[in-house]
Each structure stands twice: as C-alpha cells, then as structure tokens.
Amino acid sequence: MSLRRKHREAEVSTDSLNDIMFFLLLFFLILSTMVSPNSIKVNLASSKPRQDISKNNKPVHLAVTADRKYYVDNHEVTLSNIESVIAEKIKGKVEPVLVMHLDKDLSIQDEVDILQICDRLKCKPVLATKPTNAK
C-alpha cells in the first residue's frame, strides 16, 4: 500500500469570468448614458445688463375672439389700426415678442394676417395654447 499522494497543480476556474466581465461592461455602458455633460459645474463670469431686462422683454399680448374682436394688452382695437398699436407697444424693444391668443374656431387666414403684421414689424410671434389635460 502506497501512502504517497499525487500532487495536483492548483487551477483557477475562469468559466464564469466571461459572464462577470459582460455584466460589468453592460453596467458601465448603461451608467455612461445616464451621465449628463451638463452636470459640469462652471463658474460663469458676471456682468451688468445695459437695459432693464424685465421691462425690455415683456411680450405684447394679442387676443382674438371667435367673433373677430381684437385686443392688444386687454385694450380693444380694430384690424385696420392693429399694426400701429403693436408698433407703438414694441417700440424700443431689442427682440419684441407678440403672444397670440387666438380662438380655436378662427380660420387659418386670421392667423396668417397677424403673422404678416409680425413679419413687417420684425417681431417674434408666439402662439399661446392651453395644455391638453386642461378642460
């Protein structure tokens, strides 16, 4: 009877190493898509505005009802003098904005008429809408 043992070499099992590396790769790929480049903190320079921004960028509101009554900043005007009233309101503004509150039953031509006035006056038109969940 032989009491000698056979020496075996030590082995490292690498069978599951591929799975672990795959899951790590997948984890870092998903994590890297969640990182926003806008999260970098930058200390911005400061300056004083040349003009009062709140007064200069206040938009002009134009409301048109279903029976085609025109209101500029809650004052009723006629279609014939609407351009002069808006021109007076936007005088001196750097980037004038006209917010259009149009009734949904108006025709596209009514909107186009106002857009042409905005184009002539070089002001930015914005169409006001209500949220879809509002009643």
* Burial bucket for residue 89 (CB in 10 Å: 0-12, 13-18, 19+): buried
- CATH class of residue range 53-127: alpha beta
Q: How is the chain split into domains, by residue range?
A: 53-127
Q: HSE (CB half, 13 Å, CA atoms) of 89?
A: 24
pTM for this predicted structure: 0.56
Give per-residue pLDDT as tens, 82-100.
999 999 988 888 889 998 8
In 3-state terms, what secondary structure has residue 100? strand
Give per-residue pLDDT as tens, 8-50.
787 777 788 888 999 999 988 888 777 655 444 545 556 565 5
